[in-house]
Structure 1
Amino acid sequence: MENKKIIFKLGQFPHLSETFILAQIITAIKSGFDVKVIIGKLLDFESSKQQDLISKYEIKDKIILEDFKIPKNRIIRILKWAGLLLINFQNANQIFKYYKAHSKFSLTWLYQWVFYNQFNDAAIFHVQYGTNSGGLSLLKKVGFKPSLIVSFHGHDAFFPINGFIPNNGYYDNLFKYGDLIVANTPYLAEILIELGCPEKMLKIVPVGVDTDFFYQKKIQRNDQISRLITVGRLNIVKGHIYAFQVIKKLKHEGLDVKLTVVGEGPEREKLENYIRDNNLTDSIVLVGSKSRDEIRELLWKNDIFVFSSVSLHNGKSTETQGLVTIEAMACGLPAIVFDSGGVKYTLENGISGFLCDEYDIDCMSAKIKTLVDDKSILIEMGKQANHFANKNYSQKMIDSKWQIIYNKLSNGKY
């Protein structure tokens, strides 16, 4: 009989920049699975830009906090540990193996084993981000029953991870005992193979876009300004400063352009200073973070999407897909992007947008000028962008891929 229980494991939730993870959870719910979500840290739901979806699919009711219930007092911690060992004596052999799988002894391992053993009847554990998989890959090593899927998203494949986690066999157990590793683009898949992931357990499944929500619609305007938009966290890897340099160059060439920047982050002050120091206050506006509905409305009001994300630290920090590019294209905007990481897979160069070498502001400026000067090219590329997004990244198509994966694994046939 098919087991319809899926446990998602996340580091934290809800997280503004991870709407694709919410989409993944909703896919499982819509596919008829009994879904639970284990999270390490619960964030403020009121600040989430996805409250409508969280409410609609009753996500709050599915959340379980990853709490091992370890007493702070050392003596009580030891006594409770002994009690748990006694209660779970029938599983002593597996517990012993689990301790043996670790490089050092810690009371924590038993508390961790007890917490996860309550979910041993699940069909699938789907972990988001490789860095959240460590304990589960060791549990799989000692006989944990659920199939283990781990979706990598980018920074979790570039060492040192978060600037301090070294690659000293970090994913060896995952690649040996996991059931399926998922990458969102061929670019990320190649990185994972270089890290030792067997090709036979690796599958490429892009992050999808709800093309029923993000669709082509043109809002009429009275002015003749060419309007550009970019969406992304104000972080150095997003390369906003290069898009700003492009706007400065276009202004000097006499083009009447305006760039709307959606997003918030640590680079805001630096970017504000650049705008002020270069007299671009009438040409670049930072609007902060926005909800999904607000982003769609802004996309409809603009003509061209620009994405100037770049690779940092010798390529160890880069975009692996670029979801916002696809959302913009689904809304009918041609995309002009830097060839960074896996972004090139999100458009057809010269058909639905233009691809420029990283940091090449001359190329990006020239391509924008091409679309500004010839509205017929702009309109045709917009149509092609919408077609490309629907054909390759629609959420319905991606959902069907995941339904096949989930159904196979829940039947033990993958």
Structure 2
Amino acid sequence: MNKKTIIFKVFEFPHLSETFILAQIITAIKLGYDVKIIVVKLLDLDASLYRKTLIENNILDSIIIEDYKIPKNTFFKIFKFVFLLLKHLKKIKAILSFYNKQNKFSLTWLYQWNFYEVFNSNNNVFHVQYGTNRNPLDLLKAAGFYKPSLIVTFHGHDAFFPINGFIPNNGYYDNLFTYGDLITANTPYLAKKIVALGCPREKMKIIPVGVDTTFFNSIGKNKRAEGSLKIITVGRLDPVKGHKYSIEVVNEMVQSGYDIILTIIGEGSERKNLEKLIENYNLKKNVFLLGKKSQDEIRSFLIANDLYVITAVPLCDGRRETQGLTTLEAQACGLPVIAFDSGGVKYTIELGKTGFVFDEYDTIGIVTILKKIYLERSMLKEMSANTKKFIDANFSQTYINDIWDNVYQNLFNQLTK
């Protein structure tokens, strides 16, 4: 009997800002499944900060490039098309059904069908990362001859139209929502957005992204009772992360005479704007842009700081932070969280116990609580004691793995009925 296989479908891999995808793959491996990863674009493995993890988990051997092997020469393209058609003549009904689901005729669809037919087994479950990556699996399922179950995990931008600024909602997810087996989101915030797009509630399941508490923990953390208040934030330098508001908070604190340090880890398009803001406020001794860091380095910085801050804000299209994995990693390291109530961030915090949430753009509210914490350092100790319990009970990777174990088992059981 063939081993049960989880086939992940991703666009770019291993992507530095998508640690949650790597964690999901490792979850499936630890649960005992055979794992394959279909990748559209394979990134530079030698330059990857996760190379060690990829090697340790034998993930490199599981990667399959999504190459349909279509000849560039028109004559050979047509010749191979006829060859594939004859090769799969017994499955012509399935091929025609797949073609009927397309908006137009193209020789490419047979090459695509041929690539995915290799995985057409009820011993397989496809787990697609990002709704935008669902094609052609949604059409294969819609055609009616494709056996594997289909899970699609949404992560944020894939639920806001126009997607990437140009993809319209003209029935974009209709086949997925009709023929897919399960849709997952990391917070109630994102789940609500997806349901509003037409996803049946019975197919929607909320499964948070977990945090590895054996790696992110508060071991070695010193409980400082005085000195500068050290706050940190981790995330790409992008407008949705709202780093400029964290800098404005620090400016207000410094102007009021408080000794405060902000460390920002991440890289992105906003770097120059943030550097200019730091210079204008004369905060070069208070705010530090450290660029990209490895997971080991991020953990060390988290342990060395007192508080985590995330001042995420909506983009012009209304898109917001959907979960905020770094808030969980910070709390696992003993850091209380101060955040704007943006998107799904609040669902990662136990309000009043492991952190505080303020309205978007309410920098004054954050300044007020930081001043209180600065003067009453015992608050840090009390809240830090709560963070580990909160994470262990709701977001530890062990807890999340149990959820996925049940999900995968149920899908495989349905396939064998």
Give your verdict on TM over 0.5: yes
Aligned AA (1:256): D
Letter in 2 for 1:300: I
Residue 127 of structure 1 is matched in structure 2 by 128
Matched residues, percent identical? 54
Q: 1:177 aligns with which of 156, 160, 179?
A: 179
Aligned to 2:242: 239
Match of 1:356 among 347, 355, 358: 358
Q: CA deviation at 1:47?
A: 2.3
Secondary structure at the counterpart of residue 227 of structure 1: strand
**Secondary structure in 2 matching 1:160:** coil
Q: Relative to structure 1, is the Cα distance of residues 2 and 380 closer, same or farther in structure 2, using a 3 angstrom cutoff?
A: farther
The alpha-carbon distance between structure 1 residues 222 and 342, as it changes in their structure 2 partners (threshold 3 A), is closer
- How big is each residue's C-alpha offset from its partner over 1:21-70, in whole Å with a ceiling of 9 and x where there is no partner? 11111111111111100000000112222222111101110000000001
Change (3 A) 1:257 1:117: same
Give the Cα–Cα distance (whole angstroms) in 1 for the partners of residues 155 and 274 of structure 2: 27
For 1:323, the equivalent position in structure 2 comes to 325
Q: 2:283 pairs with 280, 299, 302, which one?
A: 280
TM-score (norm 2): 0.97
CA distance in 1, matches of 2:353, 2:376: 15
8 Å CA contact retained: 1:234, 1:240: yes
Q: Does 1:271 align with 2:278?
A: no
Count of equivalent residues: 413
Offset at residue 219 of structure 1 (A): 3.8
Structure 1 CA distance for aligned equivalents of residues 87 and 310 of structure 2 = 56
Alpha-carbon separation, structure 1, partners of 2:399 and 2:90 = 45
Whether the 8 Å contact between 1:307 and 1:336 is mirrored in structure 2 is: yes
Contact 1:208 1:394 in 2 (8 A): yes
Distance in 2 between the 1:332 and 1:254 partners? Answer: 27
Letter in 2 for 1:399: N
Q: Which amino acid aligns with 2:9?
A: K
Establish whether residue 147 from structure 1 lines up as the match of residue 149 from structure 2: yes
Q: Distance in 2 between matches of 1:391 and 1:127?
A: 27
Runs of 4+ with deviation above 3 angstroms: 219-223
Q: In the aligned structure 1, how far is the partner of 2:383 from the partner of 2:2?
A: 46
Give 1:168's aligned residue: 170
Q: Which amino acid aligns with 1:328?
A: A
Partner of 1:67: 67
- The answer (yes or no) to whether the contact 1:228–1:302 under 8 Å persists in 2 is yes
1:73-132: CA deviations, max 9, x gaps? 112111111111111111111101111100101111000000000011242000000000
SS in 1 for 2:127: strand
Unaligned 5+ runs, structure 2: none
**Deviations 1:162-183 (CA, angstroms, capped at 9, x unpaired):** 1110000000000000000011
CA contact (8 A) 2:98 2:139 kept: yes
Two-structure CA RMSD over aligned residues (Å):
1.4
Aligned partner of 2:211 among 204, 209, 213: 209
Q: Give secondary structure in 2 for the equivalent of 1:412.
A: helix
Report deviation, 1:134: 2.1
What's the offset of the Cα at 1:221? Answer: 7.0
Measured after TM superposition, the shift of residue 385 of structure 1 is: 1.8
Equivalent residue number for residue 194 of structure 2: 192
Aligned residue for 2:152, secondary structure, equals strand
Distance in 1 of aligned mates of 2:64 and 2:40 = 9
Alpha-carbon deviation of 1:213? 0.9
Q: Deviations over 1:116-154 (max 9, x none)?
A: 000112420000000000210000112210000000011
* Residues 1:42 and 2:42 aligned together: yes
Structure 1 unaligned residues grouped into runs of 5+: none
Instruction: Determine the C-alpha separation between the residues in 2 that align with 1:273 and 1:127.
Output: 40
1:367 deviates by 1.5
